[in-house]
Structure 1
Amino acid sequence: MPIQLSQKERLFLQDLKSHEDLCIQKYSKYANEAECSNLKQIFQKHASHEQQHYETINQIIAGQVPAMNQGQPQQQAQGMQAQASGMQGMSTIQGQGNTNYNQNDFTLVNDMLSTEKYISGTYDTSIFEFQDKGVRQSLNHIQKEEQEHGEELFNYMKSHGMYNIQ
């Protein structure tokens, strides 16, 4: 049975949809501009996830509650933890004070981390404005993935000496 969205819910969804579209554009553009092959892969992967988010938002706008694959986020998180562990090792090898990173890559990844922080916060606020529990769960699922994107970007920056933790 299709869900009925309030005008306020529709406005939130339109905002989220435009944010996802911007993320798709930025990640795709930055994947072409990044020098580091690992960063290119991260950007390409995240562009694909953002496209999935965009499609999920479209489903909700169309009155459908998306069926969320509950196993996927856990598998994704495990993969990111493994990748982060690998990056931790790189950090030790390269040293915390490494400043031999590409400035353009720093600008790109820093911009995307800032974008992910903003988008995650937008989802946090939006989730509380929806009446339908299934929609709230779908938006929560997307927000969790946005946080995982941010974590992966942070770990990349930290492992390449771009984010100094004091």
Structure 2
Amino acid sequence: MQVQLSQKEQMFLEDLKSHEELCIQKYSKYANEAECSNLKQIFQTLASHEQQHYDTINQMIAGQAPSMSQGQGQQSQGMQQQGQGMQQQGQGMQGMSGTQSQGSKNYSQNDFNMVNDMLSTEKYISGTYDTAIFEFQDKNLRQALNHIQKEEQEHGEELFNYMKSHGMYNVQ
């Protein structure tokens, strides 16, 4: 279905496209630099998801309402399961090493900086999608943007769970 975009909608999509492009670049770069193999995998997976978002935004810029297929929902479910597994694995690692003292850590500063940067980036991008959703006239485009925003939130949750399970995020 062909959709006529307003100038404002077009501008929002161009902004979202540049955000997705930046995420792809950062996740790909960080996947190569991460010391933890689990974090490398998370970054690679999320880079792939951001590429899908980028492609969807390009489709919308071309005036096409994307179809939100079942495959994308299953992908989100798989990410949640992967994130839960990482969290359980991290808890197990803490149990093996005994109770950690306040000053000890089981991660590299470089990995912390990268995952913290990406969590901040995901928070920002999710907010950008939130604003954009309210500016679109077409229901199908709003649903597509809402779907992407939900996935961005899931990315943030996965990064948060990784940080928490590795002692990078103290929730007290």
* Equivalence for 2:2: 2
1:132-147 correspondence runs (5 A): 132-147=138-153
Q: Which residue of 2 aligns with 1:102?
A: 108
Query: Is 1:22 aligned with 2:28?
Result: no
Query: How do 1:28-47 residues align onto structure 2 when only pairs under 5 Å count?
Result: 28-47=28-47
Find the aligned partners of 2:59 and 2:83 in 1 and give their Cα distance: 32
1:105-157, Cα deviation, whole Å (9 max, x unpaired): 00000000000000000000000000000000110111011011001000100
Q: Which runs of 4+ in 1 moved over 3 A?
A: 94-98
Q: What is the CA deviation profile of residues 62-112 of structure 1, one whole-angstrom value per residue up to 9, with x for unaligned ones?
A: 010011114532x23432333333233334333384512111000000000
Q: Which runs of 5+ in 1 are unaligned?
A: none
Opposite residue 140 of structure 1, the aligned amino acid is N
Counterpart amino acid of residue 89 in structure 2: M
Q: Runs of 5+ in structure 2 lacking a partner?
A: none
Distance 2:87 2:21 in 1: 32
Residues 3-23 of structure 1 deviation map (CA, whole Å, 9 limit, x = unaligned): 110000001001000000000
Determine the C-alpha separation between the residues in 2 that align with 1:156 and 1:16.
26
Identity of aligned residues (%): 78
Q: Distance in 2 between matches of 1:101 and 1:13?
A: 37
Rounded Cα–Cα distance in structure 2 between residues aligned with 1:27 and 1:120: 16
Aligned length: 165
- TM-score, reference length from structure 2: 0.90
Deviation (angstroms), 1:39: 0.6
Q: Is the 2:160–2:169 Cα contact (8 Å) retained in structure 1?
A: yes
Aligned to 1:141, the other structure's residue is in SS state: helix
